[in-house]
Chains A and B, each alone.
Chain A
Amino acid sequence: MTANPNSHSGNSRGAISIRNVSKVYDPGGVNVRAVDDCSLEIAGGEVCMIVGPSGCGKTTLLNAIAGFHSISEGQIDLDGEMLCGPSKPLADQGADRVVVFQNGALFPWKTLAENVAYGPVVQGVMNKNEAREKSIHMLDEAGLSGVADKYPGEVSSGMARRAEIVRALINDPKVLLLDEPYRAMDALTKSIMHESLLEVYDRTKVTIFFITHDLEEAIFLGDRVIVMTTRPAKTKKIVDVKISRPRDYRLLSSEEFRVLVEETKEAVHEEAVKAFEAGERELA
């Protein structure tokens, strides 16, 4: 049997290498170590799921890759080129690493089509008409043909989130950075989101860096699930999800799936208890 025929699908783009990264916040002289000596190799085209207790530093890692926050030590590379490192703590922001946020960040004053067209237009790679045509086409592909000219406030949260992923994909990014994008959704909407994201992934094979609290989501979507320790964040356990793609919802009731969830749950639970106790100590 080969190592893992499903992951690392041969996409040479979007490999992320995180090496010995630490991040120290210094609010008012009190050092808070959010990430500690964290190393992680993500192959191009991998779906890498990050789970861990609340406030453990997962988002800090994502912010470092996206270029929103600097790192204190270590280095992060994308396809062999340094994003941030000792000589340059803050990565440049760029459309090769597009972020989809927790609460959704479609611009409320633009229609879905205008939102999707935003990236290519500001980068100057397409004019307005070309960008609009491509946006409508991509929204169609995502099953959003009827709502292209509606404002985000007029569509459901599920549609808005799908449109947001389309807005990211139109930039042809090397990496999609997703920060708990489906957190506030009900189970039914969530399952539709999952199938839609898997469909997108099977089509594009874009590298996905996905932060979540939902273990079933992590295993259902991911090639690997990285369990982080409580703050400061390190990798505690890596779960290989050797389940073939394309995947669908029958998977959820399979024995294989349940075993993986149990295995992950144990590791996460341990860290959650530690985080909870640390929280109580801080309060005491």
Chain B
Amino acid sequence: MVDKKAKTPALVRLFRDQTFRRGVIAILAFVVLWEIGSQFKSWFGVMVPFIGKIAPPTAVAVSWVEVGQWPGYWQSWYLSTGRVFLGFTVAMIIGIPFGLAMAVNKYFRGMFFPPFEILRPIPPLAWVPASIIFWPTTELSIMFVTFLGAFYTIVINVLGGARSIDIQYLRAAQSMGATQWDLFRKIILPGTLPSIFIGAAVGMGITWEVVLAGEMISGGGQQGGGGLGFFIWSSYMGGVMDQVVVGMISIGLAGYISSSLIRYIGHLSMPWRRMF
């Protein structure tokens, strides 16, 4: 009896899971509505908003099958993923220590928080011209824009997370003889870890949002991949709307996979948060 349960394949178990089924049904329902909406253009004489104007999922699927045969499409995936991950990694490497330094040192915070807050609201898209001037290669310029997308979110989350650590933990540690370094390494760092992962997951989403802005400058042909963002941009310029939708869904999927990966790493590195 027990064996039978253990032998159930993972995929079957996945489909028995309520939450998973709910997600699948929601996506299917959405696709069906989209198909109907865009096939019939109008329902009972009323123009269907938004989806009445774009290609139906069947057309998108056909286009996707075609696009999937171009090496350029897959190169776009590869290029965008590389840019996003490099920009994101640099944002983590600089953002985490920067946020922590602002959290633990009031002089540092007093000096760097105001300029940081002035720069933060500037949208990454607005940085594109400056970015072209700053960096010698297009690749670096694009990465800089994706870096900015993740950087502010990561810093704000780290700063907020580190500052909201319960003072009792710090006092308890100090009263047991912890030095400043112990406090930082064994209390502030693990205490901030949940916020670091939240910042990372949100920041990762934003890098995918801004990769399009960055890739507007990347160049490349319709089929010679300039990245997924460029793929959308050039499809739009060419007036191929179903390809635009293919590009949009591709970025959506890439973002979802990346954020899931970060959540999974978070799950692994914070054993105390996975007890339920």
Contact = CB atoms under 8 A, between A and B. Distances in A.
B173 to A, nearest CB: 7
Contact of B172 (A94, A101, A109, A123): A101
Interface in B252-276: 270-272, 275
Interface string B182-208: 100011001101000000000000000
Contacts of A122: 173, 176-179, 182, 186
A98 interface: yes
A151 B186 CA distance: 15
B236 interface: no
Given A103-B168, A107-B187, A109-B190, A119 B272 contact: no
Interface in A76-113: 93-95, 97-99, 101, 103, 105, 107-110
Contacts of B275: 151, 153-154
B187 to A, nearest CB: 7
A66 B275 CA distance: 34
B272 to A, nearest CB: 4
Contacts of A107: 169, 172-173, 186-187, 190
A123 B177 contact: yes
Interface string A46-60: 000000000000000
A63 B252 CA distance: 53
Interface residues of A, number: 26
Contacts of A118: 173, 176, 178, 186
B173 A109 contact: no
A171 interface: yes
User: Which 4 A-B pairs rank lowest in CB-CB distance, beginning with the nearest?
Assistant: A119-B176, A105-B168, A109-B190, A123-B177
Interface of A: 66-68, 93-95, 97-99, 101, 103, 105, 107-110, 118-119, 122-123, 151-154, 167, 171
22 contacts: A66-B171, A68-B171, A95-B175, A99-B171, A99-B172, A105-B172, A107-B172, A107-B173, A108-B272, A109-B190, A109-B270, A109-B272, A110-B190, A118-B173, A118-B186, A119-B176, A122-B173, A122-B176, A122-B177, A123-B176, A153-B275, A171-B176
Interface of B: 166, 168-169, 171-179, 182, 186-187, 190-191, 193, 270-272, 275
